[in-house]
Amino acid sequence: MNEYAELMTGFPLFKGFTINGAKRLLNSGEVKQHVPGDVLLKEGDKADFVLLVLTGTLEVFVDREDEHLILTEAKPGTVLGELAVLCGIPRSASVKAKDNSAVLRWSDEAFRTMLLRDPSLSQRIFREALRTLIDKERSLIDSLVKTHGARG
Amino acid sequence: MSFLDSLIKDPKYQSHEPRKPEEIGDPDVIISPDTRREHRIPPGQSRTKKWPVLDAHGAPNVDLTTWTFEVEGLVENNLKFSLDEFLQLPPVKVYADFHCVTRWSRLDNVWTGVSAREIAQRAGVKPEAKFVLALAYDYGWTTNVPIEYFLKEDSLFAFLHDGAPIPPEHGGPVRLIIPQLYAWKSAKWVKGVRFLAEDHAGFWEEGGYHMRGNPWADGDGERFRWS
């Protein structure tokens, strides 16, 4: 527990947290160990928990027909699945462990309570989630521009 | 309850404009210096006429018959008061504004209680004490305050707000009030204070909230240790 708490204080998302502060976040959820190939969530599933990568690497992917598309890799300090929980929509992608990984899992209720009680944490989580979305939008625009350029 | 009803039935709703300190009239009321500012609302804050309720765990069940207030740490005399004994201490009144880190400010409050200076004086605070940790009844909740803010003339342990007992959701029977810092430093359901030589992060401070929390500092106030 101490080891994970210490790791968390080094994540940019939790800058300023003390070990005790990080322990509170750990105690609000459950840490699970995963081996490569473990599927942590599946596209289309009901979203009832949020993940924080503590160690290792997770792979975010979608399967389309015969294609396995890797969307991104999630490293320690990354929160996954929060938007589906907050929006009440099914999972938009699947996640599996690429390496041996430790992952903190908050239930949707625990996650919502944390955000409601702690305006600072709430601001940080939303800021990070929106940044990720904006980056995705930029990538989409870039790829549209490239396609358009190729046609022109 | 309709919105209109909620306003009518909210005894803490302020339908009037905030008074100016010179309108208070009572010469015994200590005027918090920030109420004398031309612009009383700190940067990044907005005025609310209501009194929102925020806390970490919800209001605890505080048994008034066994309630105690203890003073410990770097003091000559550890102190312990029952509620009756605490209410017998000489009272002060303070006219102050109240600024929450979540960006609302409630202006024009009159608090009645025991001056923080009175408590410090009775305990005989040692010169090496530089910080105060306020301890509360809600599940070990704490907050840390630099001693110079604790000892400001307008800091007190309040039991009345605008002449009425402080309701449980707002921290009664007794809450700390430090008008010159963000309101989370004004510990609800306070049960004691510990004088310390070194700063020690309290509950929210362990989650990255500012160790001092001056709403007037740094352009947007000292809210967090990450922004």
Does the pLDDT value for residue B3 go beyond 70? no
The confidence score (pLDDT) of residue B8 equals: 56
Measured torsion, CA atoms of residues B44, B187, B179, B209, in degrees rounded to the nearest 10? -30
The confidence score (pLDDT) of residue A151 equals: 59
CB A56, CB A34: distance < 8 Å: yes
Distance from CA of A121 to the nearest CA of B (A): 8
Whole-angstrom CA distances from B165 to A65, B28, B90, B119, B158 are 67, 20, 17, 20, 9
> Is any Cβ of chain A less than 8 angstroms from the Cβ of B56?
yes
Chain B contact set for A24 (CB, 8 A): 206-207
> Is any Cβ of chain A less than 8 angstroms from the Cβ of B59?
no
pLDDT in tens, A18-74: 999 999 999 999 999 999 999 999 999 999 999 999 999 999 999 998 999 999 999
Distance from CA of A23 to the nearest CA of B (A): 10
Quote the pTM value. Answer: 0.90
The confidence score (pLDDT) of residue B226 equals: 81
**Interface test mutation site (partner B, options A6, A120, A125, A127, max chain B beta carbons within 10 A):** A120
Per mean pLDDT, which range of A53-67, B10-24, B125-139, B197-211 is the poorest? B10-24
**What is the Cα A15 distance to its own chain's centre?**
17
Chain B contact set for A124 (CB, 8 A): 226
**What is the Cα B4 distance to its own chain's centre?**
29
- Cα separation of B197 and B125, whole Å? 11
Task: Extract the tokens encoding B29.
Answer: 């009321």
Averaged pLDDT for residues B80-89: 98
pLDDT in tens, B184-215: 999 999 999 999 999 999 999 999 999 999 99
- Nearest residue in B to A114, CA atom: B56
CB B156, CB B197: distance < 8 Å: no
- Cα separation of B9 and A17, whole Å? 40
Angle between helices A2-9 and A19-27 in degrees, nearest 10: 110
- Cα separation of B144 and B135, whole Å? 9
Q: pLDDT confidence of B219, banded at 50, 70, 90?
A: confident
Q: Do A17 and B102 touch (CB under 8 A)?
A: no
CB contacts < 8 A, A to B, total 40
In this predicted complex, what is the ipTM? Answer: 0.86
Q: Across chain B, what does the average pLDDT equal?
A: 94
- Per DSSP bridges, beta strands B29-31 and B92-99 are parallel
Does the pLDDT value for residue B227 go beyond 80? no
* Spatial CA neighbour of A107 closest among A129, A90, A85, A126: A85
Q: pLDDT confidence of B137, banded at 50, 70, 90?
A: very high
Does the pLDDT value for residue B97 go beyond 90? yes
